[in-house]
Amino acid sequence: MNVLEKLFKQGKDFLGVQYPIISGGMTWISDFSLVKAVSEAGGFPVLAGGNMPLDIFEEQVDKCIDEIKTPFAVNLITIAPNYRAHYEILQKKKIPFVVFAGKFPNKKDIEGMKERNIKTMSFASTNNIAEQQIRYGIDSLILEGSEAGGHIGYVSLIILLQQVLFHFNEVPVFVAGGIASGKMMAHLLLMGAAGVQLGTRFVMSEECTSHPNFKEAFLRAQARQAVATPQYDSRLPVVAVRSIKNKGMDQFGKLQLELIKKLEDKAITTEEAQYKVENFWVGALRKAVMDGDVENGSLMAGQSVGLMKDIKPVKQIILDLCDEANQELKKIKDIFD
């Protein structure tokens, strides 16, 4: 057993796959095609629920159950309008894992999945959230730094490593946000990570079915162009979203201002406003991913988009990560020999 295999052991044992490399659940992107490719390459795939219509969601879940031979997860967005309905559907299915995203799951929702023998994973954006989720009975944590794409927290991965990874060992801790190289993966594993999650890198795979315009926008983008949306007013609490700046981002800013005005006029409730926010992102993301409208759609991407230089098969992406990690670990070993 080489050094990388030893570092992989905790994550492999927990996930039940060859490589504890998670393909993050990305709405409209992490569909059955990508799940199948990641599974066949030995990684851990996540099917994105997003706010998918219920019949399509159930169809995709059933297809994974029937055809995916290795463990996988279904991603549930807790702030999506269809969250509760998606949750109830999964309660009736024999799936191996569920990943809670968006906001943090409550104790009842975690326990509800565990009662069905479904392993649970959730994100931790602070040390307090990590402690809470462990107390609630979560089976594993994913530390996602603010460098990541899509819905994000406000703390960078470099801080989360020190706040959470170095202090909590009750459950396996995976890390995400800004990871695009095997060299980085090697060092994170040495720090104690059970494995890594990548999203933006798997968008740039041949098996990802997103529109060619979407992938081309990623190839052109610089890291600094993947920016987080601001919250304009505390009366309209929104989960920040990191996306490549375009007209769609400007439209979201205008939407927030319109909703804040309606809140001031009592023409809408906070819940209704938040619903409209999430509906905006669901629609805008589909516009970019499926239709190729990269000007008005949402280009959700992590800052690692600045490291994207090519499009490869999923299997090659995973093998390259492992080869580079092995080279880095050998270099470190040689220093001390």
Which of these ranges, 49-63, 94-108, 154-168, 271-285, has the smallest mean pLDDT?
A: 271-285
**In whole angstroms, what separates CA 167 from the centre of its chain?**
23
Read off the pLDDT band of 1 (50, 70, 90): low
Is residue 167 a contact partner of residue 136, using CB atoms and an 8 Å limit? no
What average pLDDT does this structure show over 189-201?
Answer: 97
Cβ-based burial of 334 (10 A; exposed 0-12, middle 13-18, buried ≥19): exposed
For the chain, what are the domain ranges? 3-208+312-336, 212-289
Decide: 86 and 49 in contact? Cβ < 8 Å: yes
Question: Is 326 buried (19+), middle (13-18) or exposed (0-12) by CB count in 10 A?
Answer: middle
Burial class, 51, CB count within 10 angstroms (exposed 0-12 / middle 13-18 / buried 19+): buried
The band of 81, judged by pLDDT with boundaries at 50, 70 and 90, is confident
What average pLDDT does the segment 220-231 reach?
A: 93
Interval 3-50: pLDDT, tens = 999 999 999 999 999 999 999 999 899 999 999 999 999 999 999 998
Quote the pLDDT of residue 278.
79
Residue 328 has pLDDT above 80, yes or no: yes
pLDDT in tens, 306-326: 999 999 999 999 999 999 999
Angle between helices 107-114 and 127-136 (to 10 degrees): 50
Q: Assess whether pLDDT exceeds 90 at residue 274.
A: no
Cβ–Cβ < 8 Å for 221, 207: no
Percentage of residues of the chain with pLDDT beyond 90: 82
User: Which carries the bigger pLDDT value, residue 161 or residue 232?
Assistant: 161
pLDDT at 233 (0 to 100): 85
The tokens describing 188, both together, are 């994170």
Confidence of residue 153 (pLDDT cuts 50, 70, 90): confident
Of residues 280 and 33, which shows the higher confidence score? 33
Phi-psi region of 178 (alpha: psi -120 to 50; beta: other; left: phi over 0): left
Region 326-331: mean pLDDT is 96
Confidence at residue 92, expressed as pLDDT on a 0 to 100 scale: 95
The pLDDT of residue 131 is above 90:
yes
Retrieve residue 29's tokens: 């992107």
Residue 282's pLDDT is 79
pTM for the whole thing?
A: 0.94
Residue 242's DSSP bridge partners are: 150, 228
pLDDT in tens, 227-250: 998 888 888 888 888 999 999 999
Q: What is the pLDDT of residue 271?
A: 83
User: Hey, which CATH number is domain 3-208+312-336, 3.20.20.70, 1.10.443.10, 3.40.630.190, 3.40.50.1390?
Assistant: 3.20.20.70
Residue 21 pairs in a beta bridge with 196
Average pLDDT for 83-110: 95
Rounded CA separation 158/178 (Å): 10
